[in-house]
Amino acid sequence: MKVSIIGSGYVGLSTAIALSYIGHDVSCIDIDQNKIDNLNEGIAPFYEPALDELLLKLKDKCEFTTDYKKGLADTEIVFLAVGTPSTPAGNANLTYLYDAITKIANHSFTNNPIIVTKSTVPVGTSKEIEAIFERVLPNQKFRIASNPEFLRQGRALHDTLFPERIVAGSSSKEALDIIKELYKPILEQSFADSKALARPKELTSVPFIATSIESAELAKYAANAFLATKISFANEIANVCDVVGADIKEVVEVLSHDSRIGSKFLNAGLGYGGSCFPKDTRALAYISHRGGYNFKLLNAVIGVSNDQRFKVIEKIENALGHLHGKNICILGLTFKPGTDDLRDAPSIDIAQELLQRGVNVSAHDPIAIETASKVLDPKVKLFSNVEAALKNADAVVLVTEWQDYIDLDWTDMKTVVKHAILIDGRNALNPKEMDEAGWIYQGVGRRGTIDKAVLI
Ligand code: UDX
């Protein structure tokens, strides 16, 4: 099928590459000329496993352009995959989406493509898009659908090719049938996988869930809100662990054997960050509030996650007594490992708070130093060498659980720092091993070796 995708961010580009990989003829349209030039050279706008390799491989099958006329020619399905960032009030900013719709509406179509919203949009947006098209192009009967995306950063292509479900919402049966046909190789898992993108062993087919347009839109928010709730719940239990002397890892181990609860998304630490959870939870709370409903649970989930980032600072303070003039090293800057994305990363808030308290902040990240230099306060000293970042530190705080830190020779690193005190914001390291390596260690909701007597 001929498919056009508007927007070459994580969602748009992953969808483009995946659809092209399973044999469709894809055009990717973006307003950013520089991004398009790079994509035509095989250069990806962000880091994602297997992306560079597939970009090269699919170079002749996937077109990248800023020209709507070219990108929309003969298209059968148009995906809207532009960004929907948060406004200060918490709702989604739909400017990019409406700009794209205006450009689509200006195109003279020879056929009757389906317009599919893939961007995460407030419930009702797809219906609004339908109304816009009916107003502007009354003679052209566009079929509108919502097809939310559930991919994780760092697993974008994997999640797009091997999803746990595909959801499509539309009032048009025909549109749903065409979308199902488009995804057929993924639904049936009939395409050949590759070494870089190996099919999970147990995956033989993917369910296709057809819904109303509103249910599809809400399902995306509901999924992210539920996962965010699990994370905030685990963080709350971890905070109780700190108070009563229990260990969150042990408690979660017990919970995870209950199949009704499951083991995933219960890692306590610094709360959730990234481009989706913070934005989507705020947007769902806003949508509910605007509709006259106070989503109490979700508001609490958001509050817990916001506060959780700063808990590590209390712990450093417990260890150091006061923070002014101290050297603190932050390990890991991205919002999670496996990505170079710093959007809504806890590291930004933690670094800012430490600076405000008069701390000399150094930081290391295995891949995001360049991105970090554009986002973090210039007073944060950035190092691409971990040892250089740790040098002379009074305390170290692990903010992103990169494997590099788990594999670090902590016995060796003890000789580099001034005081071997480590606050593990992700519970990624082994407290016993850290103790043996000579470190004073404190995780989140875990028995540690720091107590108030360890003031320096
Ligand atoms: C998320 C959803 O998983 C995905 O389905 C959706 O489409 C987009 O948002 P992503 O933002 O890439 O994906 O990251 P994810 O792996 O879900 O992690 C989000 C945040 O939660 C990260 O900051 C991570 O560190 C944090 N997290 C995750 C925890 O703190 N604890 C956990 O147990 C899991």
DSSP annotation string for 262-275: -STT---SS---SS
What tens-digit pLDDT sequence spans the chain (456 residues)?
999 999 999 999 999 999 999 999 999 999 999 999 999 999 999 889 899 999 999 988 899 999 999 999 999 999 999 998 888 887 888 999 999 999 998 888 888 899 999 998 888 898 888 888 888 888 887 899 999 999 999 999 999 999 999 999 999 999 999 999 999 999 999 999 998 899 999 999 999 999 999 999 999 999 999 999 999 999 999 999 999 999 999 999 999 999 999 999 999 999 999 999 999 999 999 999 999 999 999 999 999 999 999 999 999 998 898 999 999 999 999 999 988 899 999 999 999 999 999 999 999 999 999 999 999 999 999 999 999 999 999 999 999 999 999 999 999 999 999 999 999 999 999 999 999 999 999 999 997 666 544 545
Write the DSSP symbol of residue 198: P
In the chain, what are the domains? Answer: 2-211 (3.40.50.720), 220-307 (1.10.1040.10), 309-452 (3.40.50.720)
**Cα(150) to centroid(ligand 1), Å:** 11
**Cα(82) to centroid(ligand 1), Å:** 20
Ligand 1 neighbours (beta carbon < 6 A): 149-153, 224, 227, 231, 265-267, 269, 272-274, 276-277, 335-336
Which positions are catalytic?
276
Residue nearest to atom 15 of ligand 1 (CA): 152
116 within 8 A of 125, measured Cβ to Cβ = no
Neighbours of 320 (CB within 10 A): 20
Atom of ligand 1 nearest to the CA of 150: 7
Query: What is the reported pTM?
Result: 0.93
Atom of ligand 1 nearest to the CA of 265: 33
Query: Residues with Cβ < 8 Å from 102, sequence gap 6 or more?
Result: none
Task: Please report, to the nearest 10 degrees, the dihedral formed by the alpha carbons of residues 369, 370, 375, 381 taken in order.
Answer: 50
**Cα(281) to centroid(ligand 1), Å:** 12
Residue 342 to residue 269: CA distance in whole angstroms: 17
Residue nearest to atom 19 of ligand 1 (CA): 272
Q: How far is CA 405 from the centre of its chain?
A: 21
Residue nearest to atom 17 of ligand 1 (CA): 152
Atom of ligand 1 nearest to the CA of 264: 33
